[in-house]
Amino acid sequence: MDRPLLVKRASGLLSKWVGEAEQNIAALLRQAEQEGDVLVLDEADGLLADRRDASQNWEVTQVNEVLIQMEAFDGIFICTTNLLERHDPASLRRFAFKVRFDYLEPDQSRLLFEETWRLTSKAHNRR
């Protein structure tokens, strides 16, 4: 896939001003779609928290805005999180794929190191 990668941290979209986070969210997805970028939202749980746990109205409107923008987005949108269980159920339904990466087992770590070393050595020897 030969497309630019646009990586943003969810916390970078938040604002202390009412409505500004929602504007930032809409602008980010619009930018990614217009430029054909693959959008990666790191620590997405900051914007996709379960609305049932919200104590403030603005928390609900932020999640609502992300959900609306996700529905309309015509592109590739990847979210990362360590707290999947805290995501709003409606957000989880909007993802075609959910991939979990666990820690490597010792033998997997060894194989990864060996393969990385082999590829790095091969590239270095071509110089």
| Proportion of the chain above pLDDT 90, given as a percent | 78
Query: Percentages helix, strand, coil for the chain, rounded to the nearest 5?
Result: 55, 10, 35
For the stretch 25-61, pLDDT in tens is 999 999 999 999 999 999 999 899 999 999 998 999 9
Top pLDDT among 44 and 122 is at: 44
Q: Is the pLDDT of residue 106 over 90?
A: yes
Look at residue 122 in the predicted model and tell me its pLDDT: 73
Query: Going by CATH, does the domain composed of 5-102 fall within 3.30.70.100?
Result: no
User: Taking the model in full, what pTM does it have?
Assistant: 0.77
Domain ranges of the chain: 5-102
Closest CA to 58 of 31, 19, 24: 19
Give CA–CA dist 89/92, Å, rounded.
Answer: 5
